[in-house]
Structure 1
Amino acid sequence: MITRKYKIADKVVEVNSIYDEVHEYCTDYLTDEPADYSVTTTQADIDFECEKSAREDEIEGIPTRHFSDSYLEELAVYRKIAEQMISYDTILFHGSVVAVDGVGYLFTAKSGTGKSTHTRLWREYFGDRAVMVNDDKPLLKITDSGVIAYGTPYNGKHRLGTNTSVPLKAICILTRSADNHIEAITREQAYTILLQQVYRPADMLKMTKTLELVDRLADSVKLYKLDCNMDISAAKIAYEGMQ
């Protein structure tokens, strides 16, 4: 068993893993501070991730993908972290967070819609004013004074992210369109996709707490729908529309 500690979303987790790749993945978050909690993976956890991936491939009608045990352990570790973080009012959310002038904007959509492409346009348009916080699975802490978005090691296939945190101003749901148009939406209009994109634990008590946190999330940030193409003007229209 290999043991190291990482500070993720302002909490220190002690990770006990079988393979070293997990620790290579998380190296930017290494710390020697006392642990707030620990997670330990077993071969059973790796087997679970393998079976889950196979089921998802079957549902999507694609050939079964085969991953190494070390990669599957990375998934298992983050699943365990996500479940622990719920106790700290923090949820894992599937989306891409970019910050401009220190303020975060989260873009979410069904896979393949273009979240990463859109946040790339923001980085091109704003230059040094823009920072990629996390391109895939940020953690969101819900507080009484707002929502904080955190970078994590789990930042997508292109490894785009920063070990940082920013106040989250808005969540924007993307759809593809020939023209660019943004509009504010209600929590009722956004709620279904918010629920789809948050990590949903199997444990019923943790799921109940997750639902409470999604409710608070929807009430704490501004919500938008963006119809967009892949032109850089989409970044300008989106940013100005969320001001």
Structure 2
Amino acid sequence: MFTGKYKIADKVIEVTSLHEKVHNYCKDYATDEDADFSVRTSQEDIDFETQREIRCAEREGREPLDSTDDYREELAVYRKIAEKMPDFDTVLFHGSVIAVDGQGFLFTAKSGTGKSTHTRLWREYLGDKAVMVNDDKPLLKITENGVIAYGTPYNGKHKLGCNMSVPLKGLCILTRGEKNTIVRIDKSEAYAMLLQQVYRPVKTLQMAKTLRLIDELAVKTELYRLTCNMDIEAAEVAYNGMKG
């Protein structure tokens, strides 16, 4: 067994795993502080991730991804962290977060729509002003004063992100289209996508907390819908529409 402590979204998590790769993956978040909670994985957790991938592949009509037990264990660890985080008013959200001038902008959409491509266009358009926080699975903490987006070790296949946090200025749902247009939307228009993209815990109590946090998220950050193509003008339209 391998054990380490990592500070993620301002919480110290003690992780005990079967494989060392989990700890190499999280090394940029290592800490010696006292743990707020702990997670421990087993072969059963790894097998669960394997079966989950098989079911997903069947639904999507593709072959299961060929990956190793140590990679599956990384997924299992983050799943256990995500299950616990609603206790700290924090949720895992599927999206790409970029920071500009100390403000965070989160883009979410159905798989394959182009979240990562769009934030790449922001980096091309804005240059060094734009910093990737997390390109895949950021943690969002909902506070009395707003929403904070956190980088995590789990930042997508291209490993775009860093150990930082930023107040979330806006959350934008992407759709594909020929012309680039952005509009403000309300909670009722965004809720279905927010619920789809948040991590939904298995335990009933944790799911209830998550639903409450999604309600607060929709109130405490600005919501947008961006219809966009893959031209750099899409980044210009989105930035000017969201920056305030």
| TM bin (shorter chain) | over 0.9
Report whether the alignment pairs 1:204 with 2:200.
no
**TM, length-normalised to structure 2:** 0.99
Aligned to 1:132: 132
Q: How large is the RMSD of aligned CA atoms in angstroms? A: 0.6
Aligned to 1:74: 74
Q: CA deviation at 1:128?
A: 1.2
Cα distance in 2 for partners of 1:55, 1:79 equals: 17
Q: CA deviation at 1:66?
A: 2.9
- Write out aligned runs for 1:32-111 (5 A): 32-111=32-111
Question: How big is each residue's C-alpha offset from its partner over 1:26-81, in whole Å with a ceiling of 9 and x where there is no partner?
Answer: 11101111111100000000000001110010011112233210000000000001
Cα distance in 2 for partners of 1:73, 1:91 equals: 20
Aligned to 1:153: 153
Report whether the alignment pairs 1:119 with 2:119.
yes
Runs of 4+ in 1 over 6 A off after TM superposition: none
Aligned to 2:195: 195
Aligned to 1:28: 28
Count of residue correspondences? 243
Aligned to 2:170: 170
Q: Which runs of 5+ in 1 are unaligned?
A: none
**TM, length-normalised to structure 1:** 0.99
Counterpart code for 2:34: P
Give identity over the alignment, percent: 67
Report whether the alignment pairs 1:182 with 2:201.
no
CA contact (8 A) 2:8 2:29 kept: yes
Question: How big is each residue's C-alpha offset from its partner over 1:79-126, in whole Å with a ceiling of 9 and x where there is no partner?
Answer: 001111110000000000001001000000001100000000111111
Question: How big is each residue's C-alpha offset from its partner over 1:146-174, in whole Å with a ceiling of 9 and x where there is no partner?
Answer: 00000000000000001000000110000
Cα distance in 2 for partners of 1:12, 1:187 equals: 32
Q: Which runs of 5+ in 2 are unaligned?
A: none
Cα distance in 2 for partners of 1:73, 1:191 equals: 31
Cα distance in 2 for partners of 1:234, 1:224 equals: 14
Question: How big is each residue's C-alpha offset from its partner over 1:183-216, in whole Å with a ceiling of 9 and x where there is no partner?
Answer: 0111000000000000001100100000000000
Deviates more, 1:62-71 or 1:172-181: 62-71
Counterpart code for 2:38: S
